[in-house]
Amino acid sequence: MIKPKLLHNYLQSDEAYSKQYDDIVKKETDWWEEQMNHHALYPTDEDLKKTREAIEKNHKEKPITDDDIKDAHHRLFTLGAIATKMGIKKTWEGKRVKTIAEWKKDARQTNKRILGAIPFDNIKCKKCNILLNYRWSMLHEETAKNISKVLFFYYCPNECGNNQLIFADGTPWISESDNTCAVCKGERNSTVTKDNAGNSYIIFECKKCGSRQVEKYELQAR
């Protein structure tokens, strides 16, 4: 049985997580500060109307000019920016320990999942017909398609350049260069099927000329 090996350890150091968290907090507080400062400098008519109403409540005797209102608004929002920034920071700091603990838990689970998939020991080189060497495992993720699969990497000991990527479910990785029609070089669709013996077949169908090609991948059923 081949012992799985991680391409990357998903679990990072505490310092790395702390730095990652700092970056998120900074991005968030900077964004709010920018919004508030923008409001301070470019008040809308509605903003100024509200500020005027608030001030006039307390200063009934002397007339207040538009510039006075603008200055008051600017002061208010500049102070508001500082208060908001501090508030946001405080909220994020409150979640720091818990969030980092969750990240670490997820990373450990990912490592465990990758190491739980036992690599195939019978992948042959298509050129040399000898067994390929297993090198490492990784997680292949396509969030948009909701795909998350363990992927094994193999290389030929003859150094013929024939490396192979095989998913833990036995289906091969099909690269873009592998995926052109042998007849017209057009782009192909691929589907993978398995027979009762556990062999995988990839059926390619050309989108351009419609010709079909089949490739067999011999894998022992586990």
Residues near Zn ion (CB under 5 A) are 125, 127-128, 156, 158, 160, 162, 181, 183-184, 186, 206, 208-209, 211
Tokens 């997680």 found at: 139
Residue (82 or 182) nearer to Zn ion, CB:
182
Residue (147 or 209) nearer to Zn ion, CB:
209
Which token pair is 4?
């799985």
Residue (103 or 155) nearer to Zn ion, CB:
155
Contact by Cβ (8 Å): 174, 202: yes
Q: How far is the CB of 187 from Zn ion (least distance, A)?
A: 9
Q: How far is the CB of 217 from Zn ion (least distance, A)?
A: 15
Contact by Cβ (8 Å): 156, 162: yes
Q: How far is the CB of 191 from Zn ion (least distance, A)?
A: 16
Residue (125 or 166) nearer to Zn ion, CB:
125
Q: How far is the CB of 157 from Zn ion (least distance, A)?
A: 8
